[in-house]
């Protein structure tokens, strides 16, 4: 019953997102990796530009990793770019594995999302939004409701103050009207080590830098993640 109501709502309120118009596993993988910890609004233009530049697995796999890192700038968590590049190299060499978690940087959710949206596997990808809706409604939805669950969780069934008055499932939801404790917020970016890493990578992406002029701890962390290369006193992209 609740799933029928949800799907009816989705037909009129679902978000029109570019990665929902394709079954290409590569394009879906790109979208899922970009969407990890990055807002949809920021991802859409970068996703479109990325696929225009590298429209296939083979194109991205053949690209220099330095170009991939530069193209990722501004999306945050730059290690995702390196993992995506490595994943496409693995796919280009050996094809898509049966177990998608064998790909670098691909966890259970991302594997299930690509399997379902690209390969039509009967699995429900459970991200934070999907888990929240299922827990609050105490209902197990089928894979057919995946996009609808994601949109409901992102726009209506919000983490702290859900918009129950506009929820299509409100009449059958045992959690209707409840409020929730504030979520533990991510530490501030300003002044953080993450900011130092981002600043160092941005400088190296512009041109190779002399090590004495750089933030040594940030460079060391970037080097461990495969984002920069240190040769003597020179720091450059790999």
Residue in 8, 32, 102, 190 annotated catalytic: 32
Three-state secondary structure of 89-136: HHHHHHCCCCCHHHCCCCCHHHHHHHHHHHHCCCCCCCCHHHHHHHHH
Dihedrals phi, psi of 182, to nearest 5 degrees: -55, 140
Confidence at residue 192, expressed as pLDDT on a 0 to 100 scale: 85
Write out pLDDT tens, residues 106-140.
999 999 999 999 999 999 999 999 999 999 999 99
Question: What length is written for the chain?
Answer: 238
Confidence at residue 1, expressed as pLDDT on a 0 to 100 scale: 87
Annotation says 135 is catalytic = no
DSSP code, position 15: -
pTM for the full predicted model? 0.90
Q: Which two tokens stand for residue 225?
A: 């993640």
| Closest C-alpha to 144, from 121, 172, 168 | 121
Confidence at residue 189, expressed as pLDDT on a 0 to 100 scale: 73
| Closest C-alpha to 221, from 202, 203, 238, 198 | 198
Cβ atoms of residues 1 and 172 within 8 Å = yes
User: CA-to-CA distance for 67 and 156, rounded, in angstroms?
Assistant: 38
Strands (DSSP E) contained in 146-197 are none
Which one of 3.40.50.2300, 1.20.1300.10, 1.10.340.30, 3.40.50.1460 gives the CATH number of domain 24-119? 1.10.340.30
Confidence at residue 191, expressed as pLDDT on a 0 to 100 scale: 74
SS3 101: helix
Confidence at residue 190, expressed as pLDDT on a 0 to 100 scale: 76
Q: What is the mean pLDDT of each run of 10 residues along the chain (238 residues)?
A: 96 97 98 95 97 98 97 93 98 98 97 98 96 96 98 95 95 88 67 88 94 93 94 94
User: CA-to-CA distance for 54 and 68, rounded, in angstroms?
Assistant: 10
Helical H segments across the chain, by residue range: 2-13, 25-35, 40-53, 57-62, 65-72, 79-94, 108-119, 128-137, 146-155, 193-206, 216-224
Confidence at residue 194, expressed as pLDDT on a 0 to 100 scale: 86
DSSP code, position 230: E
User: CA-to-CA distance for 130 and 128, rounded, in angstroms?
Assistant: 6
Confidence at residue 185, expressed as pLDDT on a 0 to 100 scale: 63
- The domains of the chain are located at 24-119, 193-236
User: CA-to-CA distance for 68 and 50, rounded, in angstroms?
Assistant: 9
**33 CB contacts (<8 Å, ≥6 apart)?**
80, 83, 84, 105, 110
Cβ atoms of residues 128 and 149 within 8 Å = no
């Amino acid at each position: 019953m609740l799933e029928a109501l949800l799907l009816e709502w989705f037909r009129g309120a679902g978000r029109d997102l570019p990665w929902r118009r394709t079954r290409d596993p590569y394009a879906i993988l790109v979208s899922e990796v970009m969407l990890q910890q990055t807002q949809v609004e920021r991802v859409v233009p970068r996703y479109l530009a990325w696929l225009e530049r590298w429209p296939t697995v083979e194109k991205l796999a053949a690209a220099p990793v330095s170009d991939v890192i530069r193209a990722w700038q501004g999306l945050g968590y730059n290690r995702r770019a390196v993992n995506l590049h490595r994943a496409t190299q693995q796919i280009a060499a050996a094809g898509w594995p049966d177990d998608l978690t064998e790909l670098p940087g691909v966890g259970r959710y991302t594997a299930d999302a690509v399997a379902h949206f690209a390969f039509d596997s009967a699995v429900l990808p459970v991200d934070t939004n999907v888990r929240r809706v299922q827990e609050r409604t105490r209902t197990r939805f089928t894979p057919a409701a995946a996009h609808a669950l994601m949109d409901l969780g992102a726009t209506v069934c919000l983490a702290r103050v859900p918009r129950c008055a506009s929820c299509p499932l409100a009449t059958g939801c045992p959690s209707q009207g409840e409020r929730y404790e504030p979520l533990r917020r991510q530490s501030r970016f300003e002044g953080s080590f993450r900011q130092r890493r981002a600043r160092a990578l941005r400088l190296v992406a512009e041109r190779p830098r002399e090590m004495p002029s750089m933030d040594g701890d940030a460079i060391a962390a970037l080097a461990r993640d495969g984002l920069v290369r240190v040769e003597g006193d020179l720091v450059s992209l790999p």
